[in-house]
Amino acid sequence: HEGGFAVTATLPHDAAPVEETPELREAAEDEVGQSTSARALELARRDVRRSLIQAVVVPLTLFGVVLAVGGIAFLYQWNSSELPGGVYDRLRIGQPRAELTLPERQRSARPTRGEPPSVPGAVCEYYGAGRSWLNDDYAAYRLCFADGKLVSKDWFAEGAT
């Protein structure tokens, strides 16, 4: 080669093609390289995606936690304010309040209709009457006390006539 040089290469005729993998693709992109604006656009899109996911997932997660805690608190209150029917049946008018074994909590969800008139001057307490919280026809035992003694005991429910 007069005053020059020669490049020679030997290529195999029966070689299998190389399978494209994500690693090879990344290596090829790194060699070629992205432009600065393309890289900035990709980063901005990634940030928008991340922000959108956070804007949706975080409030939904917080709502789920609040709902779960509220549900657990309601079920605890519901179950800890249940007065067994046998205990209610053994209560006698005139019994001192201190002698009665009653649940530690009163029922917060109680019937809104059907409550009999209360004894004037009496303080009434409400306890669960054994109905499921899934039954929206709430029932309750109402125990009214005056001067530390039981003056009335009633069972009532919204659907009762």
Among 13-27, 57-71, 93-107, 139-153, where is mean pLDDT lowest?
13-27
Mean pLDDT for the chain overall: 83
Q: Where are the beta strands (DSSP E) in 4-159?
A: 123-128, 139-146, 149-157
Residues in contact with 93: Cβ distance below 8 Å, sequence separation at least 6, in sequence order:
150, 151, 152, 153
More confident residue, 68 or 111: 68
**pLDDT number for residue 161:** 52
Domain definitions of the chain by residue range = 22-78, 81-157
pLDDT at residue 77 greater than cutoff 60 = yes
Task: Say what the pTM is.
Answer: 0.56
CATH number of 81-157, picked from 3.30.450, 2.30.30, 2.60.40, 3.30.1450: 3.30.1450
